[in-house]
Chains A and B, each alone.
Chain A
Amino acid sequence: MTPVVPDPVLSVANLRVSFGQTEAVRGVTLAVARGETHCLVGESGCGKSVTALSVMNLLPRGIARTADHLRFQGQDLLGMSERQTARLRGDKMAMIFQEPMTSLNPAYTIGSQMSEVFERHRGATRRQAMDRAAELLARVGITAPGMRLGQYPHQLSGGLRQRVMIAMALMCDPELLIADEPTTALDVTVQAQILRLLQRLQQELGLALLLITHDLGVVARMAQRVSVMYAGEVIETGTVAEVFAAPTHPGMTRTGEPLGNIPGVVPRIPLGFIGCGFRDRCTLAMPECAQTVPLRNAGGDHFYLCRLPPDWKRAAAA
């Protein structure tokens, strides 16, 4: 029982990733439709970025992902060779990474890093690729793009590097864009302008956007769907309207913000862990929370992972 997304661009079912004895992603299921923005939110360490890296097949060497299925435009990503994935990555599926400081190569100019993607996937000449790069730099609000193309990452401010990352991800008009905190480091005006640009690309090109953020303002204003993660699981998911109107998981309700000011930190979950990952921080925990927790429906596409019934808050208030 999960939300039904017809003909999704990205479909993930029961994704699991573990690092040694720690399980970082524990059965994540989500789908992103064409032209849709799906936000993945949660505290740092909850498994959002690992989920994104698993889709892109960019997990550290030796770390395995398992899933019931992992599909991009109907193609099975799990069975694909590294070479096949590399052909999609940067072309039809692109990612904007969280740290623009470490994800740009310090030894190459902005222009050579940006044009490489276009030359490689589109067989373009260096000149065509440079023109395309300059066009995209201008679209993400970088003035004097010609000058920037000749510069190295260390010559750019953090905000500029972040915009270079965004422009680079858009070089090949991707079908799926995974963006990990793409606007967190930017000024509010630039954030609004870039989010509008992404929205326009969604309308023009049907771009599917999986947006990782902790900013509820961005979620509310930008997304159609939201999945809240905690300790490697999606603890609540639904349309933004549903989840914001009636957050149901106990971790969501304290301050109206997902996991707002709850004492404690996200626990590390060992392999073979059973039950609710939130129970140590939950004021409503019962002994039965140490058993497998059901995914419950709160109406429509709205699901949450907890033993409590959807109307528990009303019952508690009565």
Chain B
Amino acid sequence: MTHAIEVRNVYRDFQQRSAMAGLRHKVRAVDGVTFSLPAGDVLGVVGESGCGKSTLARLIMGLLPPTSGEVLVDGRSLSGMDRRERARMIQPVFQDPYSSLNPRQCIRDIVGLPLAAQGDQPKARQADRVMEMLARVGISSEMAERMPGQLSGGQRQRVAIARALVLHPRIVVCDEPTSALDVSVQAQILNLLAELRRELGLTYLFISHNLAVVEHIATEVAVMYLGRIVEQAPVQELFRTPTHPYTKALLASVLTPDPALGIPDVGLGDAYPDPTNIPPGCRFHPRCPSALAKCATTMPDNIRKDGRLVECLLAVPA
């Protein structure tokens, strides 16, 4: 079976220069990620800021080349693929609809740009497609002439979704598509995305630091920590029986409105992850509440069991 997305042992390094001492650090943002996503699924990628989830998204969209490894979309490698062709297969929806829409173009032109760039359809047909798509995301035709500045945050994100879908791609990469929006608007946008997926048979890579959002929309969840996927499982299993200590800490950090409970001590201590200085052994061991002595020296392997992936020495069957 051909997967919508297949990521094979992908690495991505960046050079970071320190302003103070002029030192150079190598930051390995994505450190050997492998997964495949069947068509029609939604893979939620969660993890703290700096864990590499946005870099992973950019690698999958072909906006960044991997340092090594390979990304395949519909069974075909992204490297060497024509930009126009890539744009027809995979499209992004970004976090901030205030900066992702050109403030000097009207909505009609913004949504029409991908079609104009493809340049393979008559103008009249392009205009029809734009209006069709705007109607589909709940933007009325009167708004097509407006500028982004005249729209609310929720409306702008609808425009960004229309632009992503106007070429009828099979895959949409959503990078925190709701986190810049008001809470009441977030639910509307999520529901719209879920509806569009069902109707158009889309595949989503859905990146979010908000676990509730991911639980709502994803079919499968990957938990990233310092550049690696440390646990991956179907959404219900991951939330019901988290296995990796980091996943457990992540879920335990969610604050439910219960005055009887205080701020949870999830056992992460005062250490924070540093992508410029990845610890030896298991990369989570300095923060892990259940770390053993061997965790500081031995790097855990991927353990695959019952459709679940866990990367932890404690998960090894005795």
Q: Which residues of B contact A193 (CB under 8 A)?
A: 268, 270, 272
Interface residues of chain B: helix, strand, loop or mixed (majority): loop
Partner-contacting stretch, out of A19-27, A47-55, A144-152 = A144-152
Q: Which residues of B contact A218 (CB under 8 A)?
A: 255
> Chain B 31-68 against A: per-residue CB contact (8 Å), 1 yes, 0 no?
00000000000000000111000000000000000000
Across the interface, do B49 and A159 meet the contact criterion of CB distance under 8 Å?
yes
Partner-contacting stretch, out of B118-126, B161-169, B198-206, B258-266 = B258-266
Taken together as a complex, chains A and B put the C-alpha atoms of A44 and B184 apart, in Å, by: 10
Across the interface, do A109 and B49 meet the contact criterion of CB distance under 8 Å?
no
* B252: nearest chain-A partner, CB-CB: A192
Across the interface, do A192 and B253 meet the contact criterion of CB distance under 8 Å?
yes
Report B224 CB to chain A, min CB distance, Å. 12
Across the interface, do A191 and B272 meet the contact criterion of CB distance under 8 Å?
no
Report A142 CB to chain B, min CB distance, Å. 7
B20 close to chain A: CB less than 8 A: yes
Q: Which residues of B contact A308 (CB under 8 A)?
A: none
Within 8 A of A (CB), among B14-44: 18-21, 23
Within 8 A of B (CB), among A183-228: 185-193, 195-196, 199, 214-222
Taken together as a complex, chains A and B put the C-alpha atoms of A245 and B256 apart, in Å, by: 15
Within 8 A of A (CB), among B272-287: 272-274, 276-277
Report A202 CB to chain B, min CB distance, Å. 11
Q: Which residues of A contact B253 (CB under 8 A)?
A: 188-189, 191-192
B135 close to chain A: CB less than 8 A: no
Across the interface, do A147 and B49 meet the contact criterion of CB distance under 8 Å?
no
B254 close to chain A: CB less than 8 A: yes
* B182: nearest chain-A partner, CB-CB: A44
Across the interface, do A157 and B49 meet the contact criterion of CB distance under 8 Å?
yes
Across the interface, do A221 and B48 meet the contact criterion of CB distance under 8 Å?
no
A105 close to chain B: CB less than 8 A: no
A241 close to chain B: CB less than 8 A: yes
Q: Which residues of A contact B270 (CB under 8 A)?
A: 139, 141, 193
Taken together as a complex, chains A and B put the C-alpha atoms of A216 and B179 apart, in Å, by: 17
Q: Which residues of B contact A185 (CB under 8 A)?
A: 179
Q: Which residues of A contact B262 (CB under 8 A)?
A: 199, 221-222
A102 close to chain B: CB less than 8 A: no
The size of the chain B interface, using a CB distance under 8 A, is 36
B250 close to chain A: CB less than 8 A: yes
Q: Which residues of B contact A160 (CB under 8 A)?
A: 49
Assuming the contacts A143-B277, A214-B183, asked whether A219 and B257 have C-beta atoms less than 8 A apart, the reply is yes
A244 close to chain B: CB less than 8 A: yes
> Chain A 243-264 against B: per-residue CB contact (8 Å), 1 yes, 0 no?
0110000000000010001000
* A185: nearest chain-B partner, CB-CB: B179
Across the interface, do A187 and B209 meet the contact criterion of CB distance under 8 Å?
yes
A155 close to chain B: CB less than 8 A: yes
Taken together as a complex, chains A and B put the C-alpha atoms of A221 and B266 apart, in Å, by: 14
* A143: nearest chain-B partner, CB-CB: B274
Report A134 CB to chain B, min CB distance, Å. 11
Across the interface, do B276 and A199 meet the contact criterion of CB distance under 8 Å?
no
Q: Tell me which of B20, B249, B265 has the highest count of chain A C-beta atoms within 10 A of its own C-beta.
A: B20
> Chain A 127-148 against B: per-residue CB contact (8 Å), 1 yes, 0 no?
0000000000001011110110
Across the interface, do A217 and B257 meet the contact criterion of CB distance under 8 Å?
yes
Across the interface, do A190 and B263 meet the contact criterion of CB distance under 8 Å?
no
Report B264 CB to chain A, min CB distance, Å. 6
A28 close to chain B: CB less than 8 A: no
Q: Which of B20, B48, B182, B266 touches A146 (beta carbons < 8 Å)?
A: B20
* A111: nearest chain-B partner, CB-CB: B20
Q: Which of B19, B209, B263 touches A147 (beta carbons < 8 Å)?
A: B19
Report B89 CB to chain A, min CB distance, Å. 29
- For the complex with contacts A189-B266, A190-B48, A222-B262, 9 further pairs of A-B residues with Cβ separation under 8 Å are A141-B270, A142-B272, A146-B20, A150-B18, A158-B49, A189-B253, A191-B255, A217-B255, A220-B258
* A-B residue pairs, 5 tightest by C-beta: A217-B255, A150-B20, A143-B274, A141-B272, A216-B257
- Can you list 23 contacts pairing A with B, beta carbon distance less than 8 Å? A109-B19, A143-B273, A143-B274, A144-B274, A146-B20, A147-B19, A150-B20, A152-B19, A188-B209, A188-B254, A191-B255, A192-B266, A195-B263, A199-B262, A199-B263, A217-B255, A220-B258, A220-B259, A220-B261, A221-B258, A221-B261, A221-B264, A222-B263
